[in-house]
Structure 1
């Protein structure tokens, strides 16, 4: 399954509040993410507000489009937008995707096949 990693920047003055909001994500939002193809989704937050996300999805763009069709996502994105800096549009569209350059499991599997 394709893996995606991304970054966003949380406002330094709102880091703890942002983390608190993610300790109890709305059940409706959790269900929508699962139903639209988001798997192994994690967020990591550095002390300076750098947010790094990881998600697996057959097709991230399709998963994002499916989320766009849910009412809960519009509410969640509106609630989360004030937490970010240097953001154009909704947080789930402002992701800066990172290129994967190494994966242990992939290379081990390839070495076994070789």
Structure 2
């Protein structure tokens, strides 16, 4: 599963409305995101307008292409574009993707030995005396 994180800059004078819009995303948009492979998708907004998005998907390019083929995404992106600073592309194409440099579970898995049947202790017979 690919983990993707991205940033955009929301206009500070539009932050309240941006938050309101995302409190009630259109059901059709929610279904489209789900159906095109956007899972565990979250947006975080800092008080200066920095928006950080996170999602998990088998293939980010395929997830973006899937959304690009939907009518609801075109409508949503057109409405959301006015909320962002210096954005020449639709928001879902103009974000800055961040490189993942650390993931706890990946590193733990790399350092945790896998258990096998021979790793478990073998019961021993107790001396009845």
- TM-score computed with the length of structure 2 as normaliser: 0.86
- 2:8 is aligned to 8
Any unmatched runs of 5+ in structure 1? none
Q: What are the residue-to-residue correspondences of 1:69-84 with 2, within 5 Å?
A: 69-84=69-84
Task: Kindly report structure 1 stretches of 4+ aligned residues shifted beyond 4 Å.
Answer: none
Structure number, greater radius of gyration: 2
- 2:122 is aligned to none
**In the TM superposition, what whole-angstrom CA distance separates every residue of 1:2-51 from its partner, at most 9, and x where no partner exists?**
10000000000000110010001000000000000001000000000000
Cα displacement (A) at 1:110:
0.6
Cα displacement (A) at 1:113:
3.7
Q: Secondary structure at the match of 1:21?
A: helix
Q: Secondary structure at the match of 1:22?
A: helix
Name the CA distance, whole Å, in 1 between partners of 2:103 and 2:87.
29
Q: Secondary structure at the match of 2:112?
A: helix
- 1:106 is aligned to 106
- 1:85 is aligned to 85
> Which structure is richer in relative contact order (CA contacts within 8 A, separation 6 or more)?
1
RMSD of Structure 2 on Structure 1 (CA): 0.9
Q: Secondary structure at the match of 2:79?
A: helix
- 1:48 is aligned to 48
- 1:25 is aligned to 25
